Structures are given as C-alpha cells and as structure tokens.
Amino acid sequence: MGIAIMLKKLLLGRAFSAEDGRMTILGKYDVTLYESKAWAFTVQKIYEKLGEKETFEIFYKAGQIAFKQAEKAFNIKISENLMKSFQPVMEFFGWGKFIPIEFKHERGNFLVLVKLTNSPIVNYAKILFGKNSKVCIFFKAILSGVFSMIYKKRIMFEETACTTKGADACYFKGEFAK
C-alpha cells in the first residue's frame, strides 16, 4: 500500500489521534503541527543567530531523527527505492511537493536532482524575507540527512535555484560516490 493512501486511511480510520495534548499516528508516531509562517520565521532566525554551518547541522540531525521514527512507526526501511514513497510523508508534514527530477548512477557515482514546489514554508519565507531568505537550508539539510542514512555516508545536497530568489521552484542537487 502506498504511503499516501495509508496516510489518508489513517486520517479517516481514526488511526490519527489528538488526545491529552498529544497527536499520534498508529498510537506510536508522535507528531506536531507548526504553522508554516512561524516555521519560515524560525528557520530564518536560527540561521541568522547561528550561521549556515550550525543551522545545517541542526536540521541534518533533526531530519534523521524524524525519518528514523517514521521507519519504526510505519515498519519500513528507507532506501533509494522508497524515496518516492516518502514524498507523501514530506507532503503530509506540509513541507511542499518534492519531485525527483533525476536519479542516476554510473560506475558508483550518483546524481540526484529534486524539485520542491508549492511549499508554504518557502512561500512565507519569500514574503517575510524576500531574497534574503535562508529557509531552504532546512530542506537541503533534510535531503542530505536522509540520503546519508540510506547510503551510510555523509552526503551533501546543494540548492541550485530558489523560489525566494525568483526561480519557478527550489531545486536541490546531490552528487556522491557510493
């Protein structure tokens, strides 16, 4: 069963609960809702206070924690083949629509291109901070952390274009050797 279908069934089948101040999926996956404009503000201010390197490391590790918890809750293993399945999870979190543009490997070298569209976080960052927005460090760190988990080595994604800087979408690129 695809994760998008499963999430819809969870919501409709009451496997999603909000009781005693806790929101839980399947009785074991704790989640929170945080307003998108506030999230854009939070990421920007963390970046301004701590700088690029520290901000990246925080979200890199936080992303790995979140996806490890998702693996446990949904009893699945994150792999390069499951990345498409995790698109709905990232969309469910309200981060926007992640679209894999290219995934190729030749002789142990990998190239991954991802497009992010319709992100309320990025849209609010554009309104709040314009071209000075640093919000996409969050997405860059999440992608880097998840792919590092998959390949068991540190992988760094870079943002090659950004909505806040005038692009039609945010684009991320990861190149690495297996």
Give mean pLDDT, residues 147-167: 93
CA angle 171, 101, 46 (to 5 degrees): 30
- Residue 20 pLDDT greater than 80, yes or no: no
At 24, which amino acid appears? T
- Is residue 92 very low, low, confident or very high in pLDDT (cuts 50, 70, 90)? confident
Q: What does residue 13 show for φ and ψ, rounded to 5 degrees?
A: -90, 15
Residue 80 near residue 103 (C-beta atoms within 8 A): yes
pTM of the predicted model as reported, rounded to 2 decimal places? 0.84
For the chain, counts of helices (H) and of strands (E): 5, 7
Which residues neighbour 53 within 8 Å (Cβ) at sequence distance 6 or greater? none
Q: Indicate the domain borders of the chain.
A: 36-177
Instruction: Give the Cα separation of 123 and 126 in Å (integer).
Output: 5
Q: Which long-range contacts (CB under 8 A, 24 or more apart) does 24-28 make?
A: 25/73, 26/73, 26/74, 28/72, 28/73
- Is residue 16 very low, low, confident or very high in pLDDT (cuts 50, 70, 90)? low
What pLDDT score does 141 carry?
A: 97
Instruction: Report the top-level CATH class of 36-177.
Output: alpha beta
